[in-house]
A = this chain, B = another copy of it.
Amino acid sequence: MKCRVCKCHVVIELRQHNSAFCAEHFLAFCRRQVERAVDKFDMFRPDDKILVAVSGGKDSLALWDMLVELGYDADGLVIGLGIGEYSEASTEFARTFARDRGLTLHEYSLDAEHGFTVPSAAQATKRVPCSSCGLSKRHIFDSVATSGGYDVIVTGHNLDDEAAVLFGNVSRWQREYLARQSPVLPAANGFPRKAKPLVRLGEREMAAYCVLSNIEYVVEECPMAAGNKHLEYKGLLNDMEVASPGAKHAFYFGFLDRAADLFASAQDETSGSAEDVLSPCSVCGSPSSNDICSFCKLVSLAAVPVEVEITARPDMIDK
């Protein structure tokens, strides 16, 4: 088997594309897939200022690398989530990546800024850790993007991630989630635009991209995510992909092409308007449908207790 482009030695075969590539043309193939996603879904323009949500894993670092290679103006933001050695290692990979390439990496520590970590928040809220983790990341990425004047936040969600989320939403036919499942969400209600430029590439391709680009990344999955549904759905989709190469792509892009509009229209009719009415959170000023936003409620619940806060906060939580 030979590289589809130059006929030289193959390093990777992509059954779903009925193709194989040498290292150089595989990296070019990946960047082309990113460009195609950016163009097709009008994710951002060449002069947009991009904030990359960096975890230190293969997807976000490969994405950042590709955007820079493609000539985009992209800075990174890594959040210290306080998940023990996993978070420390992740942050260190992000730092090394940025330093080696002379890129700007913003750092934000949940513990230093707000006095809690993902594990302590899970304990305080008595909910799965992924819940406060997701909430915190969304809030901080939104805040930093807004205050830093970024046009768009990009995340490293790949085809495997998006297909698994879609699978979960379809398994219970959650109309409100299906209505919002898109690789780009426009800026609305004071929240910045968000985009997922890796939707045309899978986990295997992203791991190969990092290896072939000498990008070092945290290989372990988050220790707090073990056994979650998302991983179960990924496993089922992998079984489908083995039986029918291209099945994940057909499932995810088939939804975008032929079903997403139905759910989005139905949601618009239900809510009366595509835009919710939001007002600034009375604590942090972020757009919120309540007086105090969900993140500030989490902070009041999960932060290391201080005498005055313990007496002051419960009322706010129940509002």
Which B residues are in CB contact (< 8 Å) with A250?
A: 171-172
Are the CB atoms of A173 and B239 closer together than 8 Å?
no
In the bound assembly, the distance between CA atoms of A244 and B167 in angstroms comes to 14
Contact among B173, B239, B258 for A236, CB-based, below 8 A: B239
Q: At the interface, yes or no: A113 with Cβ under 8 Å from chain B?
A: no
Residues of A that sit less than 8 Å from B by CB: 170-175, 178, 229, 232, 236, 239-240, 243-244, 247, 250-251, 254-255, 257-259, 262-263, 266
**A258 to B243 CA separation, bound complex (whole angstroms):** 29
Stoichiometry (number of copies): 2
**Contact (Cβ within 8 A) B240 A236:** yes
* A–B Cβ pairs within 8 angstroms, 7 of them: A170-B251, A171-B247, A171-B254, A172-B251, A173-B259, A175-B259, A262-B266
Which 9 A/B pairs are nearest by Cβ-Cβ distance?
A173-B254, A262-B262, A173-B258, A173-B259, A171-B251, A175-B258, A172-B254, A232-B243, A173-B255
Residues of B within 8 A of A257 (CB): 173
Q: How far is the CA of A250 from the CA of B244 in the complex (A)?
A: 25
